Structure 1
Amino acid sequence: MIYGNILTPDGWRLGELHWQAGRITRIAGEPADPGANEHPRILPGFIDLHVHGGGGADAMEGGHALATVARTHARFGTTSLLATTMTAPDDEIRRVLGEIDAYMQAPPAGGARVLGVHLEGPYINPGKLGAQPAHARPGRIEEVEALLALAPIRLLTLAPELAGHGELIRHLTERGVRVQLGHTLGSYEEGVAALEHGACGFTHLFNAMTGLHHRKPGMVGAALAHADYAELIPDLLHVHPGAIRAALRCIPRLYAVTDSTAAAGMPEGDYRLGEQTVTKCLGGVRLADGTLAGSTLTMDQALRNLVSIGLPLEEASRRLSRYPADFLGLNEQGRLATECLADLVVMDTELNLQAVYVAGQLIEGETDVTDAR
């Protein structure tokens, strides 16, 4: 049991949250304003759908690195994540997918839950690589089917303008894979057409895609005009706060991701991102030419950043938990309600992390935070 200000789907309750066998069994309490007391804030665990690495480990290193990535992000409140791949030769992607699947069959305790794979590339535009290595190519249904047989690919990023990708989007949608548009030079019209084919989101909105111009709305314009979901990196470096606020007005279920690299949770220095070397410096991660290459963001900092630009805590929380859960169709995560998984983040009045629970197991925090009232 834990006591504090509990963020439920119906609003804040000051009271007790009970769980057993990893699931919430009861929430007892009265409506409350968390700003009017000093009790902990108890939020749903964060769900990060774009994670390349952390703690010095890179997802492309394979299964042995995933435990480090999962433990690192759990320290910052992430209770579930998608292991995100980089554009690479086919044999390298196949190897990594096989190792991710093996890891998921017997995950070690003490880290965030790995929900599956976010395949970011290789089906992206070679003219909009960003920090992706130069192995981009159009996708074929037969090739993608072979990859789907290796690991649970839950989310796939592609450039919709590449030949055959309209058909590929329709096929993936029928197979239950969520498709996001990203690393693209596509037009507004191509973005709208992709949404009509079944694409349902945008990868790191504003970054690595055609921007908004009033006579050429671009892929950003397609997102702002038509998207229900999109991911965004709220490190306040990738996207200006004003652009974040514009997106919040336009995209109902805009959700936060870290796009974190091996440098997350680590000191400044050089790290791996797929086959490339990146440098953590000046508050971010960059290639040698200065190109932003993922981030060092953690989800607890993403929450604080969203609150700092004016979002109420309950809305910021939804964009780190409820909306990414809904995007993947996860009805038992991303919310604190009876029968849901007891994935909890406990924060103090300054939104500093006090404890993290995954399925009711204390992952981070020196003691079991059970505020004695």
Structure 2
Amino acid sequence: MTVVTAARVVADAVVHAPGWISVEHGLITGVGAGRPERPDHDYGDATLVPGFVDIHVHGGGGGSFTSGDPASVLQAVQANRRHGTTTTMASLVTAGADELLASVSMLADLYRDGVVAGIHLEGPWISPHRCGAHDPRELRDPDPGEIDRLLTVADGAIAMVTIAPELAGGPAAIRRLADAGVIAAVGHTDCSFAVAQQAVDAGARVATHLFNAMRPIHHRDPGPIIALLGDERVTVELIADGTHLDPALYRYVTRTAGPDRVALVTDAMAAAGLGDGRYRLGQMAVDVVDGVARIAGTPTIAGSTTTMDQLFRRAVHAWAPRESDAEVSAPPTAEALVHAARQTATIPARVLRRTDIGSLETGRRADFVVLDADLRVADVVVGGAAVSA
């Protein structure tokens, strides 16, 4: 058995300060308060948080899940792991039927090898009016035959599918996916409030990056955002990177829906963790300027370049008092650390229906991130084994 200790250990609903974790055979065997006399490793003035779980990410570190290349997928997974993401769901973008089938087949093999935690199909069944960085030439209505072919090839690897429910066959597709155990998500949609409600009644349980690529709120036509935000059955994704959403909106959603219905996601592309330049997202050329990714030659945002550790820090600071800059830079409160950990690990794991990850609790896999005094990644541990950060 291995015992580690640190100044703070963020457990499910409490911060042990100081605290410890015991690990055996890759699993957590105990978590508690205090400093053991003879720990195997003392992380000093560090904070241990659950390994981050990203349920919506397209790549990172120059690697991409949309490339069709297993080596590129592994590159992306490893790059995001260095930023604390210990569980990654691979998100695909809109593509032609044959290309999509081939990508799903390749990622399904990597899912069975444990490289990725599942596949997220973000498209091609989305609205042409809200397609964002997706290739509009490949958009189509959900076809039962295509859905069945993809589910067959994936053999359990498809975990989530984003659909615009106003499309012809949209509600039936949501029911088909839900019946197959796939998480149906509402996103890239121009639907009405009523249609969004119908989608949830049909089985949709996630809002894909709420606000982004959705019909905006209007006082006489509230649209999908209000329907999804107001339904307790729905977990809402937020890209709280300061580009996709204003921090005030993140705070508003968290306090309106409650912190336990918010899953922070990166929606990151290959440029995450790298510098400015020209990249690709599926078939689309993307320019990254000052850290913001946009479809080349347009103002359209194309995913993000953020990482989960950055989202964790933003979430912590968003819970800080707002009265002065001095207070914002003060040490984080236990409440802020707990909420940030839940939104970057516990709730995304719950979306994936995973009870073996997402929290520092006895019996769960020993995945945790070591954060320094500035909440930056100092080390990453996956299944009890340290990964170079």
SS of aligned partner of 1:278: strand
**Which position in structure 2 is the counterpart of 1:149?**
152
**Which position in structure 1 is the counterpart of 2:278?**
270
What is the Cα deviation at residue 106 of structure 1? Answer: 3.4
**Which position in structure 1 is the counterpart of 2:308?**
299
What is the Cα deviation at residue 246 of structure 1? Answer: 1.8
What is the Cα deviation at residue 178 of structure 1? Answer: 0.4
CA distance in 2, matches of 1:27, 1:284: 39
**Which position in structure 2 is the counterpart of 1:8?**
11
CA distance in 1, matches of 2:151, 2:240: 30
Partner AA of 1:130 in structure 2: G
**Which position in structure 2 is the counterpart of 1:370?**
none
CA distance in 2, matches of 1:15, 1:249: 29
CA distance in 1, matches of 2:19, 2:207: 38
Of 329, 346, 371, the residue aligned with 2:353 is 329
Partner AA of 1:125 in structure 2: S
SS of aligned partner of 1:168: helix
**Which position in structure 2 is the counterpart of 1:51?**
57
Q: Which segments of structure 1 move beyond 3 Å, counting only runs of 4 or more? A: none
**Which position in structure 2 is the counterpart of 1:140?**
143
Partner AA of 2:14 in structure 1: G
| Cα distance per residue 1:159-217 (max 9 Å; x no partner) | 00011111111111111100111111101111011011110111111000111111110
| Percent of residue pairs bearing the same amino acid type | 36
Q: How does 1:60-79 map to 2 (within 5 A)?
A: 60-62=66-68, 63-79=70-86
**Which position in structure 2 is the counterpart of 1:169?**
174
CA distance in 1, matches of 2:34, 2:381: 23
1:357 maps onto 2:364 in alignment: no
CA distance in 2, matches of 1:314, 1:55: 28
Q: How does 1:205-244 map to 2 (within 5 A)?
A: 205-227=210-232, 228-244=234-250
CA distance in 2, matches of 1:266, 1:274: 18
1:251 maps onto 2:257 in alignment: yes
SS of aligned partner of 1:162: coil
Kept after mapping to 2: 8 A contact 1:321/1:335? yes
SS of aligned partner of 2:45: coil
CA distance in 1, matches of 2:93, 2:238: 18
SS of aligned partner of 1:61: coil
**Which position in structure 1 is the counterpart of 2:327?**
none
**Which position in structure 1 is the counterpart of 2:326?**
none
Q: Which piece of structure 1 moves more, 71-80 or 283-292?
A: 283-292
TM norm structure 2? 0.88
CA distance in 2, matches of 1:149, 1:343: 31
1:342 maps onto 2:366 in alignment: yes
Kept after mapping to 2: 8 A contact 1:141/1:168? yes
Of 97, 104, 107, the residue aligned with 1:90 is 97
Kept after mapping to 2: 8 A contact 1:211/1:221? no
What is the Cα deviation at residue 251 of structure 1? Answer: 2.1
SS of aligned partner of 1:321: helix
| Cα distance per residue 1:116-170 (max 9 Å; x no partner) | 1010010111121101111111112221111012221101000000111111111
What is the Cα deviation at residue 268 of structure 1? Answer: 0.9
Kept after mapping to 1: 8 A contact 2:13/2:338? no
SS of aligned partner of 1:150: helix
**Which position in structure 2 is the counterpart of 1:25?**
29
What is the Cα deviation at residue 38 of structure 1? Answer: 6.5
CA distance in 2, matches of 1:122, 1:11: 41
1:183 maps onto 2:188 in alignment: yes
CA RMSD in angstroms comes to 1.6
Partner AA of 1:239 in structure 2: L
What is the Cα deviation at residue 332 of structure 1? Answer: 1.0
**Which position in structure 2 is the counterpart of 1:260?**
268
SS of aligned partner of 2:198: helix
1:129 maps onto 2:153 in alignment: no
SS of aligned partner of 1:180: strand
Of 268, 286, 290, the residue aligned with 1:282 is 290
CA distance in 2, matches of 1:272, 1:361: 33
CA distance in 2, matches of 1:102, 1:240: 38
What is the Cα deviation at residue 39 of structure 1? Answer: 2.4
SS of aligned partner of 1:341: coil
Kept after mapping to 2: 8 A contact 1:74/1:364? no
TM norm structure 1? 0.92
CA distance in 2, matches of 1:193, 1:10: 34
Partner AA of 2:109 in structure 1: A
Kept after mapping to 2: 8 A contact 1:223/1:251? no
